Structure 1
Amino acid sequence: MLKASEFKKTYRPAGTDSWDRAESVIKILQDVRKNGDAALARYTRQFDGEEASVREVPRGELEAAFDSLPDRLRGALVSAKENIEAYQRKIKWRPADPDGFYPVFHPVRRAGIYVPGGKANYPSTVLMTAIPAKVAGVDSITVATPPPGSPVTLAACFLCGVDRVFTVGGVQAIAALAYGTETVPAVDKIVGPGNAYVALAKKLVYGDVGIDSIAGPSELAIVVDAESDARWAALDLLAQAEHDENARTYLISLDPGKLEEVGRLASELAEKAPRSAIIKESLRNNHWAIFAEDRAEAVDLVNWIAPEHAAIQTADADSYAEDVTNAGALFIGGFSPEAVGDYSAGPSHVLPTGGNARFQSGLSVNDFLTANAVIRVPREDYRRFAEAGIPIAEAEELHAHAASMQARLDKGGAD
C-alpha cells in the first residue's frame, strides 16, 4: 500500500513510443509502400505463419459468419449495436445556423479500422469503431484484421455494414491502409487499437493519413471506500488485467481495510481465472494500491494519473462526475463496471491511454467528421473586419494581405 505522495514520487506512465522498434517498423512501412501486395504477403508469412495469407473476405462469408452465431451472441451484438448507434447519434455534431460565420461538417470519405486478433477476438472493436463511422456517414469502411479472421469478428463486420475486410495484421496492415496496395485501398483515417508495433506504425504514418490516437497498455483506476463491494472491485481489476500482461490497474481507497480486502480477493480470484497467467503477471508488475486521505486526494490522484478508465464505486460516487476531468471514460457507481463500457453502454471503448486523457477524448462519431468554417461577410459589416485586419497585416509586413483588404474599402466598403 502506498500513500498518494509516495505513489507520485515513484510512478512512471507507460511509454507509447517504443522507439527501439522504430527501425524495423519504418522498414516495413517503406517496403509495403513500395512493393504493395508482394510485401504484404511476405510479412504475413513471416509474422503469422507460412500458411497465412492476405485475402479479401467475401461478403457471403461475412454473412455466413453472422448467421452461424449462437442466438444469444447474435442477439447481444444486435443489442449492443443499437445502444452504440443511439449514443453516437445523440452526440453527433449538428449544423449551426447559417448566419454569418459557421461550421459545415463533412464525413471522412474512407475510414480504415484495425481490429486486433492476437490474445483474443475483438468483435467489440468492430462495433465501437465501425458504428461511429457509419453514423458519421463515411462512404467506405475497410477493416484489417490478422489472418485467418475470427468468425465472430467477421460476423460483427457484417452486422455493422463494413464495406471491405482484409486478413492482414500488424505494421503491414497499417502500411496498406495508409498507402494502399494493388488489393487494399488507401484510406483517409485509420482508427482502432493494436500492440506497440501497430501504435508506432500509426504514429509514423500520421500526416500522410489521419489517425485516432496512439494507444498504449489499457488502464483502469478504481476508487473505493468502506462501503464499496470488495468482490465487485476485485473482479473489475481482473477484467482489466486479463487484457494482457502490460495492462495497468490502480486501486485508490479512502479506507485502508478496504484496500487490503480488495487486494486479497483479487489475488484469490486470479488463481482460478481462465486467463490466470496473464492476470497474475499484470497484477504483479503493473498494479498499484494507493491510500487516499480524503475525497479531494482521491480526485487529485485520478486526474494526475489521467487513466483510460476511471471507476468510482464510493458511497458518494455521483459527486465525482464533475470533478474528475482527466479520464478517457468515467464509470459512476457500483452498477457501472468498466466491462459494460467495453461492450454495450454506447460510448466507444477506443480511449486515450498513458495519461493522454489530459488532452484527448475517446473515439466518437465526431472523429469521422471534418469541419470547415464558412465565412460570409456582408458588405455593411466589412469595414469593421478590414480595419481590424489591415494594421495586423502591416505589422507582419504582409503587404499584399493589407492591400487585399484595403482595395475593398476603397471600392466602397460600408461605413
Structure 2
Amino acid sequence: MYTTKTFKDIYATKNDIDWTLLESVQSIIKTVQELGDQALFDYSKKFDSVELTSLKISKNDLKRAYEAIDDDLRESLEAAKENIESYQKSIMWTQSDASELYQKIHPLNRVGIYVPGGTAPLVSTVLMTTVLANVAGVKETVIVTPPQKNGIQKAILAACYIVDADHVYQVGGAQAIAALAYGTETIPKVDKIVGPGNQYVALAKKLVYGDVGIDSIAGPSEIVVVVDESTRADWVAYDLLAQAEHDIQARTFLISEDESKLNEILTEVSNKMTSQPRTTIISESLKNHHYSVLTASKQETVEVVNLIAGEHISIQTTDAESYVDLITTGGALFIGPYSPEAIGDYVAGPSHVLPTGGNARFSNGLSVNDFLRTNSVINLTRKTFNTMAPSGIRLAKEEALKAHHDSLYYRLEEEKQ
C-alpha cells in the first residue's frame, strides 16, 4: 500500500508501447503497401492460422448472423444502440448561424473501425464506434476484425448488421491498419481509423498517423476507484476484477483516506478472484499493475487521481458528485455506486473508446464530433474589412511580407477614396 508521497515517487504514466516490435510492424505496413490483398492473406495464415479465400464478409452473412443470435442478445444490442445514438445526438456540434465568421461542419467521407477479436471479442466496440460515425453522417464505414479459425463470432457480425456497416472485412493486426491507411484491391483507403487493439495495432496506428487520421494510441485499460467508509466493498471488488480481466497489463488503482476500507476491498478481491473464468489473467494484472493508495485528505485524493489521468474514474463515496468539478483529467467519470464502469462499457451512451496511459491530460474519449471536420468561413462585409485591415497591415509590415501588406493596403486605400 502506498501513501500519496510514495505513490507519486514511483508512478509514471505511460502507454507501454513495445518499441521492439517497430521493425516488424514497419515491415508489415510496407508489405501491405506493396502486395495489397496477397499480403493480407499471407499474414492471416501466418499470424491467425487461418487460410482465407475471401476478405469481405457479405451483407447476407451479417443478416444471417443477426437472425441466428438469441432474442435477448439481439434486444440488448438494439437497446445499447439506441442509448448510444441518443447520447451522441445530444452532444453533436451544431452549425452556427453567424454570417461573417463561422465554421461549416462536414462529416468525414470514410472511416475505418478496428474491432478486436481473440479471447474477448469486443462486440460492444462495434456499437461504440460505428453508431457515432452514423450519427455524424459519415458516408462510408469500414469495419475490420481479426479472422478466426471457426469464423467471426456471430455476435460481432450481428452487431455489424445492426449498425448497418457498409463493409466488413476479416483481417486483423498491423496489416489491417495498413490496409485501411493505404488501401488494397479489396479494402478501400479511409480518412480516419478508430478503435482499440493490441500492441501491433497501436504501433501501426502511430506509424500511419499523418497519412490517415486516428483516434488515439491505446495502451492497457485502466480504472481508478475512489472509496470511503460507506462504500460497498463487494461491489468495488467486482469493478476491479472487471478491469483486471481485460489483459495482464490492465491497471487498477484503489484510493481512499480509510485504510480499513482499502484492506476490506482487497480481501474481497482475493476471495472473489478464484471464481472468475479469467483468473490467470486477473491474477497477473493485479500482481504487477495494481496500486492501493492511502491518502491523508480529499485534496490529496484529487491530486492523485489527476496525476494518474486514468481511462475510467469511478467515485463511490458519500460525496461522489462533489468530485465532478475537481477531477480535470480522466477519460470518463462514473459517479456513485450505480454507475459502475461496466455500464459504460456497454450501454450508457458515451463511447468506451477512451484515452489511456495518462493521455486524458490532453485528449478525450471518442465521440460523434471526432467524425466531423470543420471549415472556417470568412465572409466579411466592407465595413468589417475596413475595421480589421489596419491591424493586419501593421502585422504584415512587421513580418516583412510585402505582398500580404499590399493585398490589404490597396483594398483599404480604395475604400478611403
The answer to whether TM tops 0.5 is yes
Q: 1:371 to 1:16 in 2, by over 3 A?
A: farther
Query: For 2:256 and 2:302, how far apart are their aligned partners in 1?
Result: 11
Contact 1:57 1:166 in 2 (8 A): yes
Look up the match of 2:19.
19
What amino acid sits opposite 1:203 in the alignment? K
1:282 pairs with 282, 285, 288, which one?
A: 285
Per-residue CA deviation, residues 159-197 of structure 1 (Å, 9 max, x unaligned), is 001000000000000000000000001100000000111
2:333 aligned with 1:327, yes or no?
Answer: no
What amino acid sits opposite 1:266 in the alignment? V
Query: For 2:112 and 2:51, how far apart are their aligned partners in 1?
Result: 25
Q: 1:350 to 1:53 in 2, by over 3 A?
A: farther
Query: For 1:8 and 1:196, how far apart are their aligned partners in 2?
Result: 27
Per-residue CA deviation, residues 93-140 of structure 1 (Å, 9 max, x unaligned), is 000113220111000000100000022111100000000000000000
Look up the match of 2:105.
105
Look up the match of 1:171.
174
5+ residue gaps, structure 1: none
Contact 1:16 1:199 in 2 (8 A): no
What amino acid sits opposite 1:84 in the alignment? I
1:205 pairs with 193, 205, 208, which one?
A: 208
2:252 aligned with 1:225, yes or no?
Answer: no
What amino acid sits opposite 1:29 in the alignment? I
Per-residue CA deviation, residues 369-402 of structure 1 (Å, 9 max, x unaligned), is 0011111111012122111111111211211111
Contact 1:106 1:371 in 2 (8 A): yes
SS of 1:272 mapped into structure 2: coil
Contact 2:15 2:356 in 1 (8 A): no
Note the aligned Cα RMSD (angstroms): 1.1
Query: For 1:280 and 1:50, how far apart are their aligned partners in 2?
Result: 31
2:186 aligned with 1:183, yes or no?
Answer: yes
What amino acid sits opposite 2:111 in the alignment? A
Contact 1:191 1:212 in 2 (8 A): yes
What amino acid sits opposite 1:181 in the alignment? T
2:414 aligned with 1:397, yes or no?
Answer: no
What pairs up with 1:321-360 in 2 under 5 angstroms? 321-360=324-363
Per-residue CA deviation, residues 211-244 of structure 1 (Å, 9 max, x unaligned), is 0001000000000001100001000000000001
SS of 2:364 mapped into structure 1: coil
Query: For 1:395 and 1:47, how far apart are their aligned partners in 2?
Result: 59
SS of 2:225 mapped into structure 1: strand
1:326, distance to aligned residue in structure 2 (A):
0.4
Contact 1:121 1:152 in 2 (8 A): no
Contact 2:114 2:193 in 1 (8 A): yes
Query: For 2:212 and 2:2, how far apart are their aligned partners in 1?
Result: 43
Per-residue CA deviation, residues 309-363 of structure 1 (Å, 9 max, x unaligned), is 0000001001001111100000000000000000000000000000000010000
5+ residue gaps, structure 2: none
What amino acid sits opposite 2:31 in the alignment? D
Look up the match of 2:130.
130
Look up the match of 1:80.
80
Contact 1:250 1:289 in 2 (8 A): yes
1:292, distance to aligned residue in structure 2 (A):
1.2
1:16, distance to aligned residue in structure 2 (A):
3.9
Per-residue CA deviation, residues 282-304 of structure 1 (Å, 9 max, x unaligned), is 01110001101111111111100
1:12, distance to aligned residue in structure 2 (A):
2.4
Q: 1:30 to 1:345 in 2, by over 3 A?
A: same
Query: For 2:51 and 2:108, how far apart are their aligned partners in 1?
Result: 35
1:150, distance to aligned residue in structure 2 (A):
1.7
Q: TM-score, normalised by structure 2?
A: 0.98
Look up the match of 2:301.
298
Kindly tell me the number of residue pairs found equivalent between the two proteins: 414
Contact 2:28 2:175 in 1 (8 A): yes
What pairs up with 1:82-97 in 2 under 5 angstroms? 82-97=82-97
What amino acid sits opposite 1:262 in the alignment? I
1:54, distance to aligned residue in structure 2 (A):
4.9
Look up the match of 1:6.
6
What amino acid sits opposite 1:135 in the alignment? V
What pairs up with 1:310-325 in 2 under 5 angstroms? 310-325=313-328
2:349 aligned with 1:377, yes or no?
Answer: no
Q: TM-score, normalised by structure 1?
A: 0.98
Query: For 2:259 and 2:54, how far apart are their aligned partners in 1?
Result: 53
What amino acid sits opposite 2:160 in the alignment? C
Look up the match of 2:39.
39
SS of 2:105 mapped into structure 1: strand
Contact 1:40 1:54 in 2 (8 A): no
What amino acid sits opposite 2:293 in the alignment? I
Look up the match of 1:139.
139
Contact 2:15 2:218 in 1 (8 A): no
